[in-house]
Amino acid sequence: MLTLGDLRQRSADRVLGHPMQKRKHDRPLVIILSQMLSESLRELGSPIPVFEAEAIGSFIARAMSGDARDYHLPEHAIDVAVGLDPLPRLAALFHDIVYLQVDGEQGAWIREFLAPADLEKNMILNIPHALQLTQDRELLLCASIFGVQNAEALSVADGLNEFLSSVVFYKSMSAYLPQERLIQGVACIESTIPFRGRHSGASGPRGRLRERLESTNMTFGFGFDENMIEETLDQCEKLATKDVSFVGTPYPKHFLSDSWKLIYEQNPALRSSYFSVVELRKAVLGQFQFLSKISAADFVWRRERADARFFQATENNLQIGRVYLQSQLLSLSIIEAIAMATGGDAPWELFYGSRKKSREDEPLNLDELLVLAEDEESGTRAESKQVYALLKNGRSLRSRFDSKTNRLAAYLYANLNEAEFNTGFGSALGMFQRLIKPEAHLRTFPAHVLQSVLMGISQIAQTRLIALESLQTRIEEYDEAA
């Protein structure tokens, strides 16, 4: 029988805050989830019959296995739970069970936990109205800990997913845990609302949660003393830190693989096998804009105890991630400009070719057709060699919508100096906003770079061959005139 001790042993390479590559689970996930539930409840003095644990484990697995999920899967819940104390371990299994904007209709089961109240069409929950309709004390307790009792339009951006996940936890565990333990579990899930480090006032996420725990304790009379509140906050901190540990990995290729999974989840267009060039570019641009807004401080739950290694590794990953995404966008901008100049937007594979889906595949695509200068990288920035290696050799995992390598981006990174790279990226942003015409954008690149790219695309995009030859002629004439 697989024990929690076995799981702990197998996760020995994942130091808190510095995860190694994620494990591949060698047992059915339902069994792992069921056993983690059973052992956690037993350690808390609340044993659960094996078939009931199996039913709850199956429910978690199904709820977190929607077609559009790629990162927030049952494996993620298990990875976060392993190594935690019993209560935050239980909370970890439920903390991402609701993911409204990704699950869509596959997540409609949450209505059973809210009835007769319901979500509005734009994924908004009117908490006062829901409380009035349901007269549900469990819903009220969760709302009190989250501080949303008066929220008439609680949205995903405000923590709606985490709030509903806490409701599911409370109702699922209420037959097994005393009320004070349930409250602690809800608080643990509240702590996983992301990106609040710099935007939670002077007291930070921990201080604000403390205030709500004290207020809820006073209102409902749980009998929490100062020590119990402090213990609860410590457990919350462990879960909150573990949940975002992927950003502090010492391996940028793992961080970027997880980032690509999040891109897939947040962009429905990529779930089609025939997403367009513009759809892919918009998805990657969205991730770049997101990484440009955040810093390591946003992932710190308790400022006075921020782990220096985690903080430094996170800043490094974010910086490398931004430059990596810039490089991806620069390559995409050339493909988009060529597409627009030769007939308009079209499926990505028309220009890139078929992507490699297994080791045995040998598809014809731009990655295979471009000739790269060996061991060459541009610029003098500290991240230069790392970014070039990531582009050329790939992220740690192949994504569901593209290849883990991008040899066109690597080619550009190797063959453009820093000034040319920055000028091209600025022009790309202008083209994305329709301020610069596609052909004008292409002319910002050296002729030999465009020549190589056009030659590669001409071997793939057979339906655009005449238009591509015409574009190449116009670019050559412009260069001669210049």
Please report, for the chain, the start and end positions of each structural domain, with discontinuous segments joined by +: 4-243, 248-481
Whole-number Å distance between alpha carbons of 16 and 305:
14
What sign results for the dihedral spanned by CA atoms 147, 119, 100, 85? positive
Tokens for 449, please give them.
């770079």
Q: What is the pLDDT of residue 203?
A: 73
Q: Which residue has the higher pLDDT, 7 or 175?
A: 175
pLDDT tens digit sequence for 291-335: 999 999 888 877 656 678 899 999 999 999 999 999 999 999 999
Whole-number Å distance between alpha carbons of 27 and 35:
11
Q: What is the pLDDT of residue 40?
A: 97
Q: What is the pLDDT of residue 95?
A: 98
Is the predicted pLDDT of residue 349 greater than 80, yes or no? yes
Is the predicted pLDDT of residue 342 greater than 90, yes or no? yes
Q: What is the pLDDT of residue 23?
A: 53
Find the farthest-apart pair of alpha carbons in the chain and give their distance in angstroms, rounded. Answer: 83
Tokens for 439, please give them.
């052909």
Query: Which DSSP symbol is given to 464?
Result: G
Whole-number Å distance between alpha carbons of 237 and 139:
23
197, amino acid identity: G
The band of 116, judged by pLDDT with boundaries at 50, 70 and 90, is: very high
Q: Which residue has the higher pLDDT, 75 or 414?
A: 75
Is the predicted pLDDT of residue 464 greater than 90, yes or no? yes
Going by C-beta distance under 8 Å and a sequence separation of 6 or more, which residues neighbour residue 407? 366, 367, 370, 372, 391, 392
Is the predicted pLDDT of residue 15 greater than 60, yes or no? no
